[in-house]
Amino acid sequence: MSSQQLIEHYLLKESLATYDPYDIWITNSGKKIKQFYYGHKRLGILPAGALTIYDFYINNHKRIGYDKREYPLVRGQAALTLINLYKKTKNKTYLEYAKKHIDWLLENGSKGYSGYCWGLNYDWVYSATNTYDSNIPFSTHTPYPLEAMVRYYQITKDKSLIEPIKSVYNFFEQDIQIMRESSDRVILSYGVEKDRIVANANAYAMYCYALLLEFFPEEEHYIKEKITKLYNFVRSVQNDDGSWLYSPYDNNTFIDTFHSAFIMKNIFKTNQIVALKGSEMILKQGYHYVINHMWDKENNLFKRFSKTNRISITKFDLYDNAEMLNLSIMLKENEMIEKLQQSIKKQFIKNELEIASIIDLFGNLKNINHLGWSVVQYLYALSNMEEK
């Protein structure tokens, strides 16, 4: 089956409701146990481990007690994927379905904010005392719908999208919080409160400002300055070895593959719009770090962590590999593209159509056909590849 047929199978649909790798943790029991785990890691590891085993080995196929949901991130990347196919084929069906996904996004954004914005669409416990509710938008999720609208507008000149696109600027300016600021750097929040400092969130915000630049010519100087200050922060927290800590000022943090890829792809894409001084070297160092520390030569796949703060029964995650495939395509790392794509097809896909999100420590495929957190990211990477 070709990449194009695989994308059509998953994304040419009115509904993209899907089960999700995170399903167990958004149940009432899952939220309570996760919160307990964050506050009492030694005690919490037992109930958290029990839920993980239940989800992986008892309920992974039946999904009893879980609901299929729609996710803004899935709709956004689905639209971007189909727009890529339209640009290659000029098949208007792809553009029509991209618009359907964009229309869903416009109907299902987070409510009560200064402009269009999007979040997870479920409650997310992220510490012992803090939970983001399902309506809260993020600087990391809003970029996908924004980019989809911008790309669609650039092709169609559909003026109905101008107001929603421009309103995202208001969201970043009025709802996303400034955590710290100096004459040459600015650090923005993850959500809409002064919550936490996360490196990839600021890289995403930087790219959003770059996307918005063409719609605010009167704000060119201000937006470019904001981009530079965000870039200076992201650049400043890159370690000497090329890595980024997920939360650079937090002692209990980690370094992983897909968040590292997030930072690099946003630097790369922003640099296509606004020149970022020294970005080529930053990308080179970051990419080499991930290759040197997360690449498993025996399996030709990327593992999740080089520095971790948790125990996991996951051996490989498609999310890490999909994002690194996408980044390798951007950087034209042709040898890695070929090697990684062949390995993903061989190890994560069975019966041509069934795509797993996880390979566990025993080599079992888990979380089959879950669009979010891996499958749609993989389909997007495929849409960026040259068909062979």
Q: Distance between CA 385 and CA 388 in Å, rounded?
A: 9
Residue 237 is encoded by which pair of tokens? 């927290």
The burial of 63, by beta-carbon neighbours within 10 Å (0-12 exposed, 13-18 middle, 19 or more buried), is given as: middle
pTM score, two decimals? Answer: 0.97
CB atoms within 10 A of CB 319: 24
How does DSSP classify residue 159? Answer: G
Distance CA 8, CA 94 (A): 9
What pLDDT sits at residue 387? 60
Q: pLDDT-derived band of residue 148, with 50, 70 and 90 as boundaries?
A: very high
pLDDT surpasses 90 at 19: yes
Alpha-carbon dihedral sign for residues 371, 319, 89, 150:
positive
Examine the pLDDT at 368 and tell me if it is beyond 70.
Answer: yes
What pLDDT, in 10s, does the model give residues 207-260?
999 999 999 999 999 999 999 999 999 999 999 999 999 999 999 999 999 999
Cα dist from 100 to 16, 36, 116, 160, whole Å: 11, 40, 17, 14
**pLDDT at site 386:** 72
Give the pLDDT band (50/70/90) at residue 310. confident
Distance, in Å, from the CA atom of 44 to the CA atom of 31, rounded to the nearest integer, reads: 12
Nearest to 196 by CA among 249, 237, 143: 249
Alpha carbon distance 381, 375 (integer Å): 10
Run of H or E residues at 125: strand 124-125
Which residues on neighbouring strands pair with residue 365, listed in sequence order? Answer: 359
**Which residue shows structure tokens 């995650």?**
317
* Spatial separation of the C-alpha atoms in residues 139 and 117, rounded to whole Å: 9
**Structural domains for the chain:** 3-384 (1.50.10.10)
Answer whether residue 45 shows pLDDT above 60.
yes
**Collapsed DSSP state (helix, strand, coil) of residue 317:** strand
**Residue type at position 133:** D
Tokens encoding 252? 């209990």
When pLDDT is averaged across residues 276-300 and rounded to a whole number, the result is: 98
* Residue-averaged pLDDT of the chain: 97
Quick one: tokens of 328? Answer: 């390798």
**What is the rounded end-to-end Cα distance, in angstroms, of the chain?**
12
Percent pLDDT > 70 in the chain is: 99
pLDDT tens for each residue of 87-101: 999 999 999 999 999
Residues 184-206 have a mean pLDDT of: 98
| pLDDT of 312 strictly over 50 | yes
The DSSP code for 69 is B
Single-letter code of the amino acid located at 294 = M
Contacts of 75 (CB under 8 A, 6+ apart): 16, 101, 102, 104, 105, 108, 145, 148
Split at pLDDT 50, 70, 90, the class of 388 is: very low
Give bridge partners of residue 125 from the DSSP assignment.
131
**In the predicted model, what is the mean pLDDT of residues 334-362?**
97
Q: Which ranges of 175-255 would DSSP assign to H, the alpha helix?
A: 199-212, 220-236
Count of other CB atoms within 10 angstroms of residue 200: 23
Q: What is the maximum span of the chain, computed from C-alpha positions, in angstroms?
A: 57
The residues, ordered by sequence, that sit 6+ positions from 163 with a Cβ below 8 Å of its Cβ are none
